Amino acid sequence: MRLVLGLEYDGTRFCGWQSQQNGRSVQQTLESAISTVADHPVSVVCAGRTDTGVHALGQVVHFDTDADRPERAWTIGVNSNLPADVSVRWVAQGEEDFHARFSALSRTYRYVIHNATSRSALLANRAWWHHRRLQTDRMQAAARFLIGEHDFSSLRAAECQSRSPIRTMRRVDIDRSGDIVWIEVEANAFLHHMVRNIAGTLVRVGRQDAEPEWVAQVLASRDRKVAGMTAPACGLYFLRVDYGGGLETPISDTAAVPAG
């Protein structure tokens, strides 16, 4: 039987999603909790790996098990074996050919910026503090150059191991509520550090250090050195995954994301 979980976690004290020999990972933590409930070793596959310090509200994972438990028992049982910074939000039975990663049609991330003159103690690990006033209209104008299929070489990490830099960006929305600015991006898939590099690039436009049209030049250059900085991990949230009709994932409660 293939089960699918919706997962939420605070990435502050994790070394990222992927299991590592020296470090506390979300994958190892989750597998240990599920294995306890299933009463056998379990390996999980996620929709998208996250780096150290990155959060998730709508991470999706699948695993196979012969253990027969009600869906509610899986949710309560796994959560009772998880630390406070990880939580299973829902459980569903998936088709045998469902794959958390390869069945996904698109993924959505949100990047959160605390745009105020003074830093916030409560948002220290939840948002990127940026004291210079950001012009969101300029950022939205720049974002239009990212829409569609592009070579995103200039917006991926140097150590990115993806075979192709080609991705299709479906949507980039920028909005503000008070001192909170957020960037929401949806694409078929993302490269390593792609969202954080997009955030750093759009912020450069928002603080008027570059014109919106500069983003088109960044893409055309295919040179990481031309783009903006890599924004801090603390502001990034894995928001949701779209599987079309293959799996109806509940809409995540984004109240935990500082978006006004």
As given in the structure block, the two tokens for residue 172 are 């980039």
Q: Which entry of 39, 51, 64, 173 is annotated as an active-site residue? A: 51
51 is catalytic: yes
Catalytic positions are 51
